[in-house]
A and B are shown apart, each in its own frame.
Chain A
């Protein structure tokens, strides 16, 4: 599986936007970009995914660079409940496993 690189930690203030970056320079043409997050004491949960175009859902937005070598997860207004570890994962269309890296620990300050 292609590797992703994320900052170990980031901090944000409540009700401000958060931009979580992810580098994936060895991404292949069939890799989807997935984001999952893990809240404290819980299992991971799906956030969003995309292939080439930017994507929006009720939780977040995903901005994908034109060359697909990086992406950014955008939380439009961070809440305390968004404090979690965020994982950026590449997933082949033919495979189903998730390969987790170390992720980014997001701290949201009140």
Chain B
């Protein structure tokens, strides 16, 4: 158990809909990362938040957005869903210090949310 929790475990929805995925990081971790894993694209970094602020953006579509709340949990919002958005979405957390991202800190991954768009 990594200490990172994600809800829901599974989500089935229709094209055009909007969903929210939730992540609770390990206690005390300030950084939250979102990754998408699909069969054709592999594991891809989407976005990172650090203590409530966006720190880095990867291959995140404009239809997707995220935020990190004062209690450090994070939500990933996916809208106008398409069939190709079907994937596993992982959240990870790490405990970078106040000085910012130190490249060798390990990331702890949650169990993922499997999104199926029909």
Contact = CB atoms under 8 A, between A and B. Distances in A.
Interface of A: 30-32, 34, 38, 42-46, 49, 51, 87, 91-102
B52 interface: no
Main secondary structure, interface of A, reads loop
Nearest to B90: A43
B56 A32 contact: no
B16 to A, nearest CB: 28
A93 to B, nearest CB: 4
B109 A45 contact: yes
B43 interface: yes
6 contacts: A34-B104, A44-B92, A96-B56, A96-B94, A96-B101, A97-B58
A100 B56 contact: no
B108 A46 contact: yes
Contacts of A30: 103
